[in-house]
Structure 1
Amino acid sequence: MPQLSPNPDSAPALIVIDMQLRLAPAMADYQQVCARVDLLSQVATKLELAHIITEQNPQGLGATDPCLVTPSAKVVAKDTFSAVQSEAFIAALEPLGESHLYLCGMESHVCVYHSANELLARGYQVTVLADAVCSRDPENKALALAQLRHNGAQICSSETVIFAWMNSCRHPQFRDILALIK
């Protein structure tokens, strides 16, 4: 498997993990999480951030929720729980050279968890967006977020990250993005 090479001077990238409609009915708080992921995807598009969407076994589980697929997103299929073990994911991520990856999606304690841990092990800064991840059982989500924090991932909210991406109210997209948030 090729090694990923993070670039410490690069822009952030949004990674949406396995937000597939066939899985949605089983998830706790799917509608709220989907709304957060949609917001993050729209903001990433406006800010021209790298944006990768993974799909776990799309032949069996179907495609990503169509409302989350933006023209700028690169959609990659995988069959491993960790996206990092997918050649397609590596092929999409490596040319970007991003060093700070923002993860959202489902399930918190399976694919998000394993992807985040392997990215951390490879030297990436990883932020998991607590209000933009879900699991079937909320307790599994809570346990996964606690363990990821212990393992070195940052855990924060979507709005915190969105404002960090803009850095200032002087950002040219500030008003447009603020309108999306409100």
Structure 2
Amino acid sequence: MKKTAGKAKRPAVVEHEHGRYLIKAGQLKDTIVARAFPKPPSKFRHLVAEETGKSTDDAIARLIDKLDGLRADRRTSRRTDPSLATGIPTSEEYADALRSYTTGPKLLGILHDHALLRQRGMVLSELAKAGEFATSQDLLNAYEKLGSDIYKLIEPEGTLTAALPVVVQLPDNGVLDASDVVILQPELQDALLQLLGTNRRPR
């Protein structure tokens, strides 16, 4: 007689999207666990947060509450800056957004180099040349687009009047000239060096 009894199947893994996160929930040993990761097309498989629950739905709901709580806590920890009404994002917010954002190698390379300069910064025209941008304005345009994209990930319901301050520190007049020394926001520096390391990568 053939055996009809077999091992009980584990509950299938349930996937749920929440903002820029992909949540996966299922049974891990004797526990129902929900975990949040950056949503594709992000190349990072970084675990953002996790929660347990009585069921997959319960674990997912608890995890969403945790993610929303983390977001609220980070908002209150932001540094104030007159050029950005919502405050400068924390290094954790920058890192989280960068994990969910696909940056071209050219822009990523100059961002890494720029971050390694820390508060010394570099003259804008020299920075553009080092990054192989045709003009200083081309680099600023790339930084502005990056700032807009990062802001949308961090504050999807927010309104942004100028995106450049998300990436760099601006002078009092709000205008950067080719001869000005440009410095990345310190929190963005920290996030980039956390993700890319403190050694310059070969081009």
TM-score tier by shorter-chain length is under 0.3
> Relative CO higher for 1 or 2, CA cutoff 8 Å, sep ≥ 6?
1
State TM-score, norm by structure 2: 0.23
Larger Rg: 2
State TM-score, norm by structure 1: 0.25
Q: Which has the higher helix share?
A: 1
